[in-house]
Structure 1
Amino acid sequence: MNLSVLISSHAKAFDLWNITHFFFKKNWPNCPYAVYLGANGENRIKYCPEDWIYLNKGEDVSWAKSMKSYLESIPADYILLFLDDFIILRPVNQKLIDEAYEFLVANNGVMLRLVPSPKGTIYLNENFRRIDVKNRVPYVTSLQVAIWKKSFLIKLLKYDFDPWEFEIKAGKVKESMECYDKFFVTTKPLIFYKHFVEKGKFYPFIRKLIKEYNIPLIDTNRETLNKNELIKLYISKLRATMFSIIPEKDKNKIRKYFGKHEL
């Protein structure tokens, strides 16, 4: 299968790798794909898990430039992209991942998001939907776990967006509009995961899991979100959940009405 996994990171996040790796191995022990850890910046190979392939291509100039350098070092044509603070919480069903990959290739797709967040609006079958790129729906290029056609992802990276800009803007550039019918999303999560860092700080739940599974901490100086920070985050997520009820095609119209930028 012409597919590899890329964990996108950078050298300063070296203390996250063993945590992410622990849950990856716990819940996907027989992953059949090569797993690459992209981490530009200072050489931190000694912290890279032994069964991951370490990619360090020099200075971490920008997120997009580093991503491009990682992708160009991977021979596979399709990439299953993870961020470095995603931990897998349930066993992965390999058959479903295989079927998702085969669907993307058979439909000449450029991206298949493996969690319906956001959901696609164009029904194809009980397992897959198409994302309505033509109507400029929000977060077409969300950085949730997805399978990407590598050559297409490299094209999007030329704009040198940071990760937040990429999620909002990359789905509206010329290359995406030309491939408007090639973005897909699953109707249910194929990989159950959670991110455990926000603004450089641990969520409290990961501290509990680290203790429960006796995972060694590489850097004990990383802070944990405090109560006030968590309340602000939960309020923000509550708003996002309420906003998710609105049909995708109408979300940016509503934002425009209230004088907010397009997503």
Structure 2
Amino acid sequence: MNKSTALIVLTCDSYSDLWPMFINFSEKYWPDCPYDKYFITNNKSIPESTFSAIKIGKDESWSDGLLKTIDKLKSKYDYLLITLEDSPIIEYVDQNKLNLITNSFFAAKGNFLSLFTQNNIGTPTRRYNEFFGIIDKGSLYRPTCVYSLWKISVLEDLLVREENAWDFERYGSVRSDKYDGFFMVYNNFFKMSNTVIKGKWLRSEYKKISNLGFQPDIKNRELMSRTEELKFKTYVLIFVILNKFIPIPWKIRRKVIFTLKGYKYKKLD
């Protein structure tokens, strides 16, 4: 890589039970990761590993914690590859292919690249090259922080200290319209497991992780009930079906979804 990039895992101390799992799979399936690697914690230390910890102390919000992280890293790095502790990779990473993708992104003077498609929201609105397409201004949920590569100065500019992660995806998408250079791969580059939803383990993902040879710690974290998991999966399935078979033109999708879910544009002022 010809740009300085750090891999950061956004987390907090209350999710420390997931750290050994993430580290285990990262070191197993991505042994040749070329980036400096960090866990962003509050006050706890991480298990001994190829990762380092950046302790930011108490954070007032998700965005506040990320801004504190950026303040510590922006003098050293141009880009951040960001993910979350509950999304471990579960298949080997092709670093040579990733280099081709990221070098193409740098050559395009990109500001944001999602390496994970948002299957329940959409795909790139226009083709750019063989690796990724453009996420046009006005697109729904334009920025994310799940396996996404960010130009650090752009991410810092888009963050609002009081927002949580969901607010950032909603309202940060509107703020991001001031920037070009937002891209998304056509197909997921990383194969990951979405292990925990609203603080609880998905039973199916717990089984998957166990079958891959790692026994998660569930002493202090509940498994979803079968009914809860069925409701969650049904909701996702309905959203995906509606998105696929009753497609809303991308140019009006943000307005329609914001209206349906009660999001207020006035919060963007």
Shared fold, TM over 0.5: yes
Which of 7, 13, 36 is residue 11 of structure 1 equivalent to? 13
Indicate the SS of the match to 1:54. Answer: strand
Structure 1: give runs of 5+ residues left out of the alignment. Answer: none
Q: Which residue of structure 1 aligns with residue 199 of structure 2?
A: 200
Q: Which residue of structure 2 aligns with residue 90 of structure 1?
A: 91
Conserved? CA contact 1:9–1:84, under 8 Å: yes
Conserved? CA contact 2:82–2:147, under 8 Å: yes
Amino acid in structure 2 at the alignment position of 1:178: K
Q: Which residue of structure 2 aligns with residue 163 of structure 1?
A: 165
Assess, with a 3 A threshold, how the Cα gap between structure 1 residues 185 and 168 changes in structure 2: closer, same or farther.
same
Indicate the SS of the match to 1:55. Answer: strand
CA distance in 2, matches of 1:127, 1:213: 29
Q: Which residue of structure 2 aligns with residue 129 of structure 1?
A: 133
Assess, with a 3 A threshold, how the Cα gap between structure 1 residues 178 and 222 changes in structure 2: closer, same or farther.
same
Residues paired across the two proteins, number: 255
Aligned identity (percent) is: 25
CA distance in 2, matches of 1:100, 1:202: 32
CA distance in 2, matches of 1:206, 1:88: 12
| More deviation, 92-101/146-155 | 92-101
Assess, with a 3 A threshold, how the Cα gap between structure 1 residues 258 and 13 changes in structure 2: closer, same or farther.
closer
Indicate the SS of the match to 1:82. Answer: strand
CA distance in 2, matches of 1:251, 1:184: 18
CA distance in 1, matches of 2:133, 2:23: 30
Indicate the SS of the match to 1:249. Answer: helix
Q: Which residue of structure 2 aligns with residue 178 of structure 1?
A: 178
**Once the 2 structures are TM-superposed, how far is the Cα of residue 34 of structure 1 from its aligned partner?**
1.0
Conserved? CA contact 1:18–1:49, under 8 Å: no
CA distance in 2, matches of 1:67, 1:257: 28
Indicate the SS of the match to 2:193. Answer: strand
- 1:100 matched to 2:101? The reply is yes
Assess, with a 3 A threshold, how the Cα gap between structure 1 residues 64 and 257 changes in structure 2: closer, same or farther.
closer
Q: Which residue of structure 2 aligns with residue 236 of structure 1?
A: 235
CA distance in 2, matches of 1:70, 1:205: 33
CA distance in 1, matches of 2:34, 2:261: 48
CA distance in 1, matches of 2:166, 2:201: 19
Conserved? CA contact 1:37–1:48, under 8 Å: no
Structure 2: give runs of 5+ residues left out of the alignment. Answer: none
- 1:149 matched to 2:120? The reply is no
Q: Which residue of structure 1 aligns with residue 37 of structure 2?
A: 35
Query: Once superposed, what is the RMSD of the aligned Cα atoms?
Result: 2.2
